[in-house]
């Protein structure tokens, strides 16, 4: 088997009519002619299978070490498909800190469908064990949460799950298979918002599900084909192009994160930093055992008595004030006013979301420019505070 970075550039070989193309062609076709009634071809209708999407799906399975991969039109479509394998009356254990869209899908859609859900801190194995019921079918969590970057040990959770014949479902969006491969640690299903690190350029919306067994592959294929929320051939090709540079981008992003944290740790305005990629941080030992790195996102808390967090994010220029993460450009978010704005102040604080919490998704720009942008924004926020 070739090494991982080589497999990022060279997906599994596809039959492309022997043209010699170094990239998989975009098969922009909705239907495929049968050679004859007696001998149907490999594909018949693009919702059911498309050569470009299949190349991507085979590469995703290869990178995650799975049996099969499935590409969807968005991360939420991928999550929907993974959860649609369950039926009315089933019970799921879900991490307390999950993506807001996942929380909404679970509580405003699947609960109406008849699924019951218990949320727990998945770092606490005793809490997970206590939540298991006779009808529990799976444990769903993010190994590194957003925006506080809490770390859950995949191997320990998967071991507990398998003792009770439960599936382990892991959203690996934050780290990607370059840094973490949950299936190798005992997980059964891996989900990605491929819009983020896998695509990496803020130009395509995509999702992925990778499974570790043929039985799960058959169930996911039925759902993908039945629901039809597939990734188009053009977007599949764009995503494959992004995957080629995944390792290069993440190495640069993580190097930039560490430079910025080194600066922020010395600033009196910064009260707390959240990033399990440095040794002094909670979660580092667990993550260090299971992953190659902590990714390109980190958070920190500003002292509201010293600087105005709203003015800070509004004063940034290089860091764009925007949701999402994982792309080549740097983004910043104020969770209390953006991703968690639906929560009341007391609910935000209970979740650890303080008004001064800043989340940064660091890009591949020169870190000197990133640092200069942060420095001028802190200075501007200081000036604004003194005027109040």
Residues with a catalytic annotation lie at 47, 99, 171, 196
- The answer for residues whose C-beta is within 8 angstroms of residue 177's C-beta and 6 or more apart is 4, 63, 64, 65
Specify the length of the chain in residues: 388
Q: Which of 89, 21, 66 is nearest to 209 (CA)?
A: 66
Cα→Cα distances 354→21, 173, 307, 371, Å: 52, 24, 14, 23
- The strands making up 91-95's β-sheet, listed across from edge to edge, are 68-72, 207-211, 189-192, 167-171, 136-141, 91-95, 116-120
- The rounded distance, in Å, linking the Cα atoms of 191 and 66 is 12
DSSP state of 356: T
- The rounded distance, in Å, linking the Cα atoms of 302 and 357 is 6
Q: Are 26 and 233 in contact (CB under 8 A)?
A: yes
DSSP string, 9-26: HSPPP---TT---SS---
């Amino acid at each position: 088997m070739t090494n991982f970075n080589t497999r990022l550039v060279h997906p599994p070989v596809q039959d492309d009519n022997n043209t010699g193309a170094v990239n998989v062609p975009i098969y922009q076709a909705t239907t495929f002619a049968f050679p004859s009634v007696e001998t149907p071809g490999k594909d018949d209708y693009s919702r059911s299978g498309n050569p470009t999407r299949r190349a991507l799906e085979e590469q995703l399975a290869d990178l995650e070490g799975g049996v099969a991969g499935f590409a969807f039109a968005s991360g939420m479509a991928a999550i929907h498909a993974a959860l649609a394998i369950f039926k009315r009356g089933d019970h799921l254990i879900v991490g307390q800190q999950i993506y807001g869209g996942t929380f909404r899908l679970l509580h405003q859609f699947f609960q109406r469908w008849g699924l019951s859900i218990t949320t727990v801190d998945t770092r606490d194995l005793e809490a997970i064990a206590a939540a298991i019921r006779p009808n529990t079918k799976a444990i769903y969590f993010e190994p590194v949460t957003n925006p506080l970057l809490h770390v859950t040990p995949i191997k320990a959770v998967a071991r507990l799950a398998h003792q009770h014949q439960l599936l382990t479902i892991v959203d690996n969006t934050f780290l990607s298979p370059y840094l973490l491969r949950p299936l190798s640690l005992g997980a059964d299903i891996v989900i990605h918002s491929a819009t983020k690190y896998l695509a990496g350029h803020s130009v395509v919306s995509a999702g992925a599900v990778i499974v570790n067994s043929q039985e799960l592959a058959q169930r996911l294929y039925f759902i993908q084909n039945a629901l039809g929320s597939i990734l188009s051939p053009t977007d599949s090709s764009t995503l494959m192009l992004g995957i080629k540079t995944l390792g290069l981008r993440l190495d640069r992003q993580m190097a930039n994160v560490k430079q910025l944290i080194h600066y922020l740790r010395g600033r009196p305005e910064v009260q707390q930093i959240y990033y399990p990629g440095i040794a002094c941080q909670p979660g580092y030992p667990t993550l260090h055992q299971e992953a190659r790195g902590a990714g390109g996102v980190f958070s920190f808390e500003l002292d509201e008595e010293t600087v105005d967090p709203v003015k800070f994010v509004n004063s940034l220029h290089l860091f764009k004030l925007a949701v999402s993460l994982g792309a080549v450009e740097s983004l910043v978010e104020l969770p209390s006013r953006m991703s968690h704005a639906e929560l009341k102040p007391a609910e935000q604080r209970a979740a650890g979301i303080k008004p001064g919490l800043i989340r940064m998704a660091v890009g591949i720009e020169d870190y000197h420019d990133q640092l200069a942008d942060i420095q001028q924004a802190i200075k501007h926020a200081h000036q604004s505070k003194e005027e109040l």
